[in-house]
Amino acid sequence: MSPSFMRSLGHGNDGSDCGIDGSHDGISDKIVLPEPNFKCAITHPNNLRIIPLKVMDMNILFLLLLPLFLLIFKHLTNPSPKNLPPGPRPWPIIGNILQIGRKPHISITHFANLHGLLISLKLGSQLLVVGSSPAAATEILKTHDRQLSARYTPKVTIPSLRPLSLVWAGECNEHWKSLRSLCRTELFSVKAIELQAGLRERKVGEMVEFVGSKEKEGKGVKIGEVVFATVFNILGNICFSKYFIELKDEGVAGGLKGVIWKMMELGTTPNGLRKKAMEYQEEVYRMWEVIITERKESEGVDASRQHDFLDVMLSCQFSDMQINLLILELFIAGTDTTTSTIEWAMAEVVKNKEAMEKLREELGKEIGAESINESHMSQLPYLHACVKETLRLHPPAFSASSSYTIPQNTQVIVNVWAIGRDPTIWEDPLSFKPKLFLDSKLDFRGQDFELLPFGAGRRMCPGLPLGIKQVHLILASLVHRFEWLLPNNEDPLRLDMNEKFGITLQKEQPLLLIPKQKPTVSQPMQMESQVKMRETKMLRYLGSKAGQMVNIKETSHAIGKGKAAATSFLEDFFPEEAQS
């Protein structure tokens, strides 16, 4: 679960409570309330002297205890609303916080097993409703998407910034709509994604060179750090035409990743530390504030530079604060999620020999000795299946929003993690089996409620097109170029797959792998195998087009080479037809 992505039935809705009928949710009628199991361990050392309290001390004690009395009074006079979904019995004042613990995705799934697929919990005085089935997800993210599309905002966010925010927008107001539409057209449209392809290929190519460089030979590579630096630089370039992190500056990516993680973590603490969060925000803004100032001062368009997202925001008259906030939110929402997906995917394929072999075989057949590029991606069904399987088992974020009367301001979430591991939906749900997706039409684009790593409905992830392109290209490149070993030749079967809960579900132990260059083929052999490979692809493609007109652009796409290569192949194979 990503508390940051929690939805709420908050302000800005029509104000009425939401009555959702979820009787079909399969909620178990066997309600087993686990007895609280906390031991009160107060020790009384023998040498502790007991000093009688004076009248003055009593007054101080009374003042100290007053807030506690007030809290208890508030709790007693403000009972939980009736007719809520079942759930574990909350403790006075703290609610279920202690029972939820440090791994909420696991404890909440456990509560769902005990109480049903729609449960309610109390986080202090905050009510939380959790759906853990595709049916509950459909109710929350589709049927009642409009009423439940407000975002629950952690206390750590600065109230004055909320109206400017995309991620934290409490309601789907006009400003939120205009930000989503700006991002959709300028960053994530089909055209924008296609225009960025060269940039992604270049940055991923540099990452692969770095991993395979002499200085890294035999050394461990922290997959999360090199991937984070790469996706951060891609987004940095799209927004500011600038790369922020040098791959060789070990630790910078780790440091920045740490700051982003900490900022997100503050957002997940019930009473977040606003001052600390502000300090982190300022630290990140400092990275690009010079660029904004220079750009505002420069006159005319600099022809040596590409048109970037900063140009777009300035032309829309965005203030510095609006620019800072939007870019920060894109970095927060887009870098850690993508990195974590790739880190999990690598961990799963390294651990699962069969999946790794199949993926290698597919990459070898389709790409061979060519340099990998995005036009290859559509020819790699097993790669796509590996990514879907990773997102089923390790969705980086929970999603957001029931059959009960939900009071206003309730946090409502869908436990996507639990749905991905539900044995009534998936066979052998804890194993990594990409094959599941090979003959299946199930997709993660918000239509299939069994698989919701990007959420669904109005607040669904707008960055999906960019995120998924990066995941495919980086995973394919890392697997195709190297063989991967664990440090000290450890058995991959014993790879630690524990999760650390935060805004994203990361690997608790960062993945450290040793790359081994795959045996290289000599230059002439490489050329020969490339030509052979393209010939096979070309024949396969033309076979599928028998009796139809073929288009050079599509042909070049199908063979993963430019138009010139496609034309010359067509001329070689079908000289007469190519003439016409």
Q: Which of residues 194-213 bind ligand HEM (CB under 6 A)?
A: none
The answer to whether 193 and 469 are in contact (CB under 8 A) is yes
The answer to whether 413 and 128 are in contact (CB under 8 A) is yes
Question: Binding residue per annotation — 239?
Answer: no
**Run of H or E residues at 34:** none
**Run of H or E residues at 413:** strand 411-414
Query: What letter does residue 521 receive in the DSSP assignment?
Result: P
281 is an interface residue for ligand HEM by CB under 6 A: no
Structure-block tokens of residue 96: 């279920």
Query: Cβ closer to ligand HEM: 235 or 436?
Result: 235
5 is an interface residue for ligand HEM by CB under 6 A: yes
Scanning 262-270, 456-464, 521-529, 545-553 for contacts with ligand HEM by CB under 6 A, the matching segment is 456-464
What lies within 8 Å, CB to CB, of 485 at 6+ separation is 513, 514, 516
What lies within 8 Å, CB to CB, of 417 at 6+ separation is 1, 105, 109, 395, 398, 505
Scanning 74-82, 331-339, 477-485, 522-530 for contacts with ligand HEM by CB under 6 A, the matching segment is 331-339
Closest CA to 434 of 325, 531, 361, 521: 361
The answer to whether 345 and 510 are in contact (CB under 8 A) is no
Least Å distance, CB 438 to ligand HEM, is: 21
Q: What is the 3-state secondary structure (H, E, C) of 118-176?
A: EEEEEECCEEEEEECCHHHHHHHHHHCCCCCCEECCCCCCCHHHHHHCCCCCCCCCHHH
Least Å distance, CB 507 to ligand HEM, is: 15
Query: Cβ closer to ligand HEM: 280 or 344?
Result: 344
- Sole binder of ligand HEM in the list 341, 373, 402, 555 (CB under 6 A): 341
- Sole binder of ligand HEM in the list 120, 338, 352, 411 (CB under 6 A): 338
333 is an interface residue for ligand HEM by CB under 6 A: yes
Closest CA to 109 of 124, 87, 126: 87
The one-letter code for the residue type at 100 is I
Query: Cβ closer to ligand HEM: 127 or 234?
Result: 234
- Sole binder of ligand HEM in the list 363, 419, 466, 566 (CB under 6 A): 466
- Sole binder of ligand HEM in the list 108, 164, 323, 330 (CB under 6 A): 330
Sign of the dihedral through C-alpha 381, 340, 458, 409: positive
Query: Cβ closer to ligand HEM: 86 or 453?
Result: 453
- Sole binder of ligand HEM in the list 119, 397, 476, 513 (CB under 6 A): 397
419 is an interface residue for ligand HEM by CB under 6 A: no
Query: Cβ closer to ligand HEM: 284 or 570?
Result: 284
Scanning 35-43, 298-306, 346-354, 458-466 for contacts with ligand HEM by CB under 6 A, the matching segment is 458-466
Separation of CA 318 from chain center: 27
Scanning 15-23, 132-140, 202-210, 460-468 for contacts with ligand HEM by CB under 6 A, the matching segment is 460-468
Closest CA to 97 of 84, 108, 83: 108
Structure-block tokens of residue 191: 């055209």
Query: Cβ closer to ligand HEM: 399 or 403?
Result: 399
Helices 274-297 and 252-268 pack at an angle, to 10 degrees, of: 130
d(CA 386, CA 437): 8
The answer to whether 141 and 452 are in contact (CB under 8 A) is yes
Number of residues that bind ligand HEM (CB under 6 A): 29
Scanning 285-293, 453-461, 481-489, 558-566 for contacts with ligand HEM by CB under 6 A, the matching segment is 453-461
Scanning 14-22, 106-114, 303-311, 455-463 for contacts with ligand HEM by CB under 6 A, the matching segment is 455-463
Query: Cβ closer to ligand HEM: 5 or 404?
Result: 5
- Sole binder of ligand HEM in the list 420, 462, 502, 560 (CB under 6 A): 462
Scanning 130-138, 330-338, 352-360, 549-557 for contacts with ligand HEM by CB under 6 A, the matching segment is 330-338
157-196 mask for ligand HEM (x: CB under 6 A)? ---------xx------------x----------------
d(CA 346, CA 352): 10
The answer to whether 447 and 145 are in contact (CB under 8 A) is no
400 is an interface residue for ligand HEM by CB under 6 A: yes
- Sole binder of ligand HEM in the list 396, 420, 434, 502 (CB under 6 A): 396
463 is an interface residue for ligand HEM by CB under 6 A: yes
454 is an interface residue for ligand HEM by CB under 6 A: yes
d(CA 247, CA 210): 7
Bridge partners of 118? 131
7-46 mask for ligand HEM (x: CB under 6 A)? x---------------------------------------
Scanning 337-345, 357-365, 423-431, 475-483 for contacts with ligand HEM by CB under 6 A, the matching segment is 337-345
Query: What letter does residue 343 receive in the DSSP assignment?
Result: H
DSSP secondary structure of 537-571: HHHHHHHHTTTS---HHHHHHHHTS-HHHHHHHHH
The answer to whether 134 and 25 are in contact (CB under 8 A) is no
467 is an interface residue for ligand HEM by CB under 6 A: yes
User: Residues within the annotated binding site?
Assistant: 461
Residues in binding site for heme: 461
The residue ranges that bind ligand HEM (CB under 6 A) are 5, 7, 151, 166-167, 180, 235, 329-330, 333-334, 337-338, 341, 396-397, 399-400, 453-455, 459-463, 466-467, 471
